[in-house]
Amino acid sequence: MLHDAHNHLHDAWLAPHLATIAADLERLPVAGAVVNGTCETDWPEVTALAAAHAWVRPSYGLHPWDVGNATPAWRAALVRTLDANPRGAVGEIGLDRWILERARPDDPRLAGLRRAPLAEQTEAFVWQLSLAAERNLPATLHCLEAWGALMETLRATPRPARGFLLHAYGGPAEMVAEFAALGAYFSFNGGFLAARHAAKRAVFAAIPGDRLLVETDAPAMALPADLETHTLPALADGTRVNHPGNLAAAYVGLAAIRRVPLAELTAQVARNFARLFG
């Protein structure tokens, strides 16, 4: 029984293949998958998926990439969405300095988005994290190249008593203990099995076992092609599309990194998933 702590199953890149993908996941079997909305317009799509599949755990949030384009009514819409969906979690929310300082001006994933400055991202993040804390809902956090700012914000903001997820954790090893003390879980992404991510694999070798989760971030973060168990056609521009069924390969890779039997890791992750998202 596998658990995908973070994906975007409702994403347009997966839509043409959704029936096949759902059947593939049920065959693995995937017992739980947190499907993360990122902006007001995709929240209803997440709700529809949760209605169709018992293993979908819906999650609703305004992603830092989408903060700059939100309507003035986004906060009221999020509250309404969570009220209407008692199984709803909060996410994907967070902080991203990479889009401000390093992303290419013509990155196709950021086309049409106003890149909100960090202060504006922080305001949206703090408001959503506080909402999750108030309702004790699991929150899923995105962070790219803003680890110091994230730590500062977490220290100063109410956090859900049940904990929160740092998805595809790519921060320094030195920060793991304090993040964990603040309530963090850390999800390992199969994309970290690429040769260039040795440092991230070393971090995941040492993360406390009771704070460990596994994720795909599908359709993003494709695995190295030779490790993929499930493939989907690439986009017209050649961008690879990650099938969420590659979750199984992420488990296998993480078990090897931590030198534990796959069955032991699978059971540990199931317990952790139930504690945070159950």
Percentage helix, strand, coil, to 5, in the chain?
A: 50, 15, 35
Structure tokens at 122: 């922080």
CB of 215 to Zn ion, least distance (A): 8
CB of 63 to Zn ion, least distance (A): 7
Give 146 or 255: the residue with its C-beta nearer to Zn ion: 146
Beta-strand relationship, 164-166 and 30-36: unpaired
CB of 261 to Zn ion, least distance (A): 29
In sequence order, which residues have a C-beta less than 8 Å from that of residue 42 and are 6 or more positions away? 10
CB of 180 to Zn ion, least distance (A): 21
Q: What residues from 241 to 270 belong to the interface with Zn ion (CB under 5 A)? A: none
Report the candidate in 97, 139, 140, 104 with the shortest Cα–Cα distance to residue 121. Answer: 97
Cross-strand partners of 4: 33
Give 11 or 24: the residue with its C-beta nearer to Zn ion: 11
Give 137 or 255: the residue with its C-beta nearer to Zn ion: 137
CB of 123 to Zn ion, least distance (A): 21
- Report the alpha-carbon angle 224-227-233, nearest 5: 70
CB of 270 to Zn ion, least distance (A): 21
Number of residues that bind Zn ion (CB under 5 A): 2
Which one of 217, 249, 254, 273 is in contact with Zn ion (CB under 5 A)?
Answer: 217
Give 24 or 96: the residue with its C-beta nearer to Zn ion: 96
Q: Please give the single-letter amino acid code of residue 167.
A: H
Q: What is the dihedral of CA 46, 50, 53, 56, to 10 degrees?
A: 80
Give 39 or 255: the residue with its C-beta nearer to Zn ion: 39
d(CA 61, CA 10): 14
Site string for Zn ion, 63-102 (x = CB under 5 A): -----------------------------x----------
The window from 71-79, 151-159, 203-211, 216-224 that contacts Zn ion (CB under 5 A) reads 216-224
Q: Does 40 bind Zn ion (CB under 5 A)?
A: no
d(CA 138, CA 165): 8
Give 185 or 255: the residue with its C-beta nearer to Zn ion: 185
Report the candidate in 93, 112, 108, 84 with the shortest Cα–Cα distance to residue 37. Answer: 93
Q: Which residue's CB atom is positioned nearest to Zn ion?
A: 217
Please, are residues 11 and 33 in contact by the beta-carbon 8 Å criterion? no
What does the binding site for Zn ion look like in residue numbers (CB under 5 A)? 92, 217
